[in-house]
Amino acid sequence: MTPPPPEMPTLPDVTVPAELLPGDGRFCCGPSKVRQEAVDALAAAAPTYLGTSHRQDGVRFVVGALRNGLAELLQLPDGYEVVLGNGGTTAFWDALAFGLIERRSQHLSFGEFSSKFATVTKAAPHLEDPEVIESPTGTHPEAHADPDVDVYALTHNETSTGVMHTPRRAEGTTAADGLVAVDATSAAGGLRFDAAETDVYYFAPQKCLGSDGGLWLAAVSPAAVERIERIAASGRWIPASLDLKTALDNSRKDQTYNTPALATVFLAVQQVEWLNHNGGLEFAAGRCDRSADILYAWAEAGELTTPFVADPAERSHVVGTIDLADVVDANQVAAVLRANGVHDTESYRKLGRNQLRVALFPAIEPDDVAQLTRSIDHVLAALTP
């Protein structure tokens, strides 16, 4: 006998008044809001850009604009270069395991994304088991100098928990003691940092860069370039599509090893130039600061809301996580918001908390974050007795 189907929970019929809704309802942590101005610029450029060779000047000019614009936005020191390739951050972890880590890495593991890179290096048969330093979710650990380690793997913003951690070299170390590789996928272009404290600062364009996924980008130091060249020359087997030396050689010609998504590259340039024209990283980070202030102040003041990250200094200014009191189901709140055109406020699925998660990336208007809090207040009032 087949059991009866489970009851589908019915969604409460709550209409958020239009005057409380944000102007744009996209709060996803990746892919994230793409500015309409960028989409319009792409549509205007399309007839001579989309569908043209990525080895000819037209597309190479746009790739060059992306590399130069990022060097300006991230205030890269002399000698740092921007490298890019296909496959997004997840593929780049594999590229790092093949082409940057000599023998052993140290990982700060404090959430889903930072733990994933540690899993990659643990599985790589040519590397020794990594040193993994963990801390409870909602906090971050600190790197410590270890002479047995040649890459320190940090995460600027742990997107799954909403913890930010400004990258810094381990006490008393330089690049000669170990390269610092930073997963800045959700941080790059939204959070302040000092590039000189990093050797490989890598990310993907679907978060702060307001573009689409599928591409990886990395700002690499001269010490990282030297390491990449040394490993490439060592005879280690490296799949061509994950070969950092091949990526470096192509990037220097404003190309990628294989075909990139031209729309993704174009939209990323639009965002980087928009940020640079308005004041660069300080402008971008300032917008994120404002959005974060609005969100966390609201959550602290509310009866049913609490910022998940206890230490205000560790609360992310690009991804906000807000716990809800048990009297209300966060998934239901997110579903009601979605039905009202406010998307993707669900918490990270594997975190398993009664929580809302909200992107605060530079493309998102701080005023829309304020409106979002008013929308949530309306839904909370409707769902609680």
Which part of the chain contacts ligand PLP (CB under 6 A), choosing from 9-17, 70-78, 85-93, 98-106? 85-93
Which part of the chain contacts ligand PLP (CB under 6 A), choosing from 71-79, 83-91, 324-332, 367-375? 83-91
Minimum CB separation of residue 264 from ligand PLP in Å reads 11
Minimum CB separation of residue 256 from ligand PLP in Å reads 15
* Contact pick of 25, 85, 88, 190 for ligand PLP (by CB under 6 A): 88
Which part of the chain contacts ligand PLP (CB under 6 A), choosing from 67-75, 179-187, 248-256, 354-362? 179-187
| 30 lies in the site for ligand PLP, by CB under 6 A | yes
Q: Which helix (H) or strand (E) holds 324?
A: strand 319-324
Nearer to ligand PLP, 88 or 307 (CB): 88
* Contact pick of 75, 90, 241, 331 for ligand PLP (by CB under 6 A): 90
| 183 lies in the site for ligand PLP, by CB under 6 A | yes
Other CB atoms within 10 Å distance of the CB of residue 24: 17
* Contact pick of 22, 25, 63, 89 for ligand PLP (by CB under 6 A): 89
Give the burial string for 114-137 (b: 16+ CB within 10 Å, else e): bbbbbebbeebeebeebbbbbeeb
| 204 lies in the site for ligand PLP, by CB under 6 A | yes
Secondary structure of 157-224 as H, E, C letters: EECCCCEECCCCCCCCCCCCCCEEEEECCCCCCCCCCCHHHCCEEEECCCCCCCCCCCEEEEEECHHH
Nearer to ligand PLP, 90 or 354 (CB): 90
Tell the burial category of 185 from Cβ atoms under 10 Å away from its Cβ (0-12, 13-18, 19+): buried
**Does a cis peptide bond (omega within 30 degrees of 0) precede residue 31?**
yes
Alpha helices by DSSP H, 9-56: 36-49
Binding site for ligand PLP (CB under 6 A): 30, 88-90, 113, 155, 159, 183, 185-186, 204, 213
